[in-house]
């Protein structure tokens, strides 16, 4: 078995493609379920955010797993595989662990250090647990990643430059409106996680917040929590005429604000209008930004935003924590893999000690119980001392390349339980034949034009 990551993100694909492959919650959950139908995938979890779609999988065959995950991902997104594969990246084993830790810590985000990804990974884990697509291996990995992400944000200043994509986008919007959001009328479209965060940030900044949501009750609950106003979705166009800033993030299948609607809304107005589109696929027509007096900010605009960068010192500190945690996690997993051999070795030693003690009792029947017990304690203590160093070293070496060979050698030398070595072999039988031994590759580097 091996852990595998197959993904597409803002680092490898244009926003136009990310728009097309974006998966809503139900689609992500359905993809994870579909992946378990593959002969090569034992566990699966899908992380789908505004700037990435990644599949984390425990696979029995590496290349088969890569092909199956990529094909099913493309199918779920409704995009041809050949269109997707040039932008797909693959991480496996230790580098897959590191990638998830980087992602959860905000090190791989469009806005480095953003905290929203923690909640998104947590939600992905919840969906995988609910649909039973995740087992012990991935569950332990993701739970550890969430702890690592929290540690990075607690022990470094990585999130000081901007807590999220939302905060950076709204800082850009504020500059377009003269530098402040106080008393500005802000129309927030949607009531999901991103929209709720935007509405909260706007309210704290002193803006007059208006919520428009397709499900009025959900929008009203959000509005009440912020002492804001709620309107029905069909009244959105009328409210647009009064808004200084519009924030959209609905996850809708189509555009909710087209250029004609906005053009009509700005007739006769002298003040600027800023449209912040944080959705994938886009909620707003890109041509809106070409209208006079209108500025449109989308996810693609954030990559080079001044607030999207943190100090090198904080990033270095964060990466150091991630590196430490990766070593610890990989070492713990390797130790678990050789545990059956450790147990078998100690069981074999106990058998030898028991046999020797029984022979001692037969040869010295006059030995009293207290003396016999002391002999037994001394013998077991000596054997335990002798086994301590080999078993500790076996667990340490297991994390190294070909480290399990030490365990296999012990098996042969001490004639251990065959079941123990079969478990060890089963955990390491995935062969990765790749020109990228570092654990990082693209789909084409690994499989080329394989069908």
- Positions annotated as catalytic residues are 50
Q: How far apart are CA 395 and CA 297, in angstroms?
A: 52
What is the sign, positive or negative, of the torsion defined by CA atoms of 265, 266, 268, 273? Answer: positive
What is the sign, positive or negative, of the torsion defined by CA atoms of 242, 251, 213, 167? Answer: negative
Count other Cβ atoms within 10 Å, centred on residue 240.
Answer: 20
CB 243 within 8 A of CB 185: yes
Peptide bond before residue 281 is cis, with ω within 30 degrees of 0: yes
Q: How far apart are CA 296 and CA 328, in angstroms?
A: 45
> Which class for 433: exposed (0-12), middle (13-18), buried (19 or more C-beta within 10 A)?
exposed
Count other Cβ atoms within 10 Å, centred on residue 211.
Answer: 28
**Angle of CA points 131, 281, 283, to nearest 5°:** 120
CB contact burial 107-134 (16+ within 10 A = b; e otherwise): bbbbbbbbbbbbebbebbbebbeebebb
Q: How far apart are CA 133 and CA 153, in angstroms?
A: 29
* Closest by CA position to 282, among listed 248, 319, 313: 248
**Angle of CA points 293, 294, 300, to nearest 5°:** 145
Question: What single-letter DSSP state applies at residue 38?
Answer: S
* Closest by CA position to 88, among listed 430, 432, 446, 450: 446
Q: How far apart are CA 334 and CA 59, in angstroms?
A: 17
């Amino acid at each position: 078995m091996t852990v595998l990551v197959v993904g597409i993100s803002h680092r490898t694909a244009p926003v136009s493609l990310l728009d097309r492959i974006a998966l809503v919650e139900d689609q992500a959950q359905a993809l994870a379920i579909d992946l378990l139908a593959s002969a090569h995938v034992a566990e699966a979890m899908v992380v789908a955010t505004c700037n990435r779609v990644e599949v984390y999988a425990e696979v029995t065959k590496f290349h088969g797993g890569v092909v199956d995950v990529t094909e099913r991902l493309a199918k779920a997104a409704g995009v041809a595989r050949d269109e997707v594969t040039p932008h797909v990246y693959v991480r496996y084993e230790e580098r897959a662990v590191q990638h998830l830790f980087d992602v959860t810590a905000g090190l791989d985000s469009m806005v480095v250090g953003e905290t929203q990804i923690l909640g998104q990974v947590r939600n992905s884990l919840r969906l995988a647990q609910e649909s039973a697509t995740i087992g012990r291996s991935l569950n332990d990995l993701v739970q550890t990643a969430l702890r690592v992400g929290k540690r990075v944000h607690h022990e470094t200043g990585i999130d000081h430059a901007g807590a999220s994509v939302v905060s950076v986008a709204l800082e850009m919007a504020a500059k377009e409106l003269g530098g402040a959001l106080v008393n500005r009328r802000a129309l927030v479209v949607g009531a999901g996680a991103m929209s709720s965060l935007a509405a909260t940030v706007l309210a704290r900044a002193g803006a007059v917040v208006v919520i428009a949501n397709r499900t009025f009750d959900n929008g009203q609950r959000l509005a009440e929590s912020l002492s804001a106003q709620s309107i029905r979705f069909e009244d959105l166009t009328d409210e647009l005429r009064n808004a200084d800033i519009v924030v959209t993030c609905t996850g809708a299948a189509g555009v909710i604000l087209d250029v004609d609607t906005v053009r009509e809304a700005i007739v006769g107005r002298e003040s600027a209008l800023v449209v912040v589109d944080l959705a994938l696929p886009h909620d707003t027509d890109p041509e809106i930004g070409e209208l006079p007096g209108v500025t449109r900010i989308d996810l693609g605009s954030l990559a080079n935003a001044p607030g999207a960068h943190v100090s090198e010192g904080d990033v270095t500190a964060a990466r150091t924590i991630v590196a430490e945690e990766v070593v610890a996690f990989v070492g713990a997993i390797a130790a678990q893999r050789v545990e059956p051999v450790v147990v078998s070795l100690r069981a074999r030693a106990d058998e030898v000690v028991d046999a020797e003690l029984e022979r001692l009792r037969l040869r010295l029947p006059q030995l009293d119980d207290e003396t016999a017990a002391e002999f037994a304690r001394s013998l077991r203590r000596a054997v335990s001392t002798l086994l301590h160093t080999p078993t500790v070293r076996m667990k340490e070496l297991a994390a190294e390349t070909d480290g399990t060979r030490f365990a296999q050698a012990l098996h042969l030398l001490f004639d251990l339980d065959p079941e123990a070595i079969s478990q060890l072999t089963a955990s390491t039988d995935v062969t990765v034949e790749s020109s990228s031994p570092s654990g990082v590759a693209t789909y084409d580097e690994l499989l080329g034009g394989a069908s």
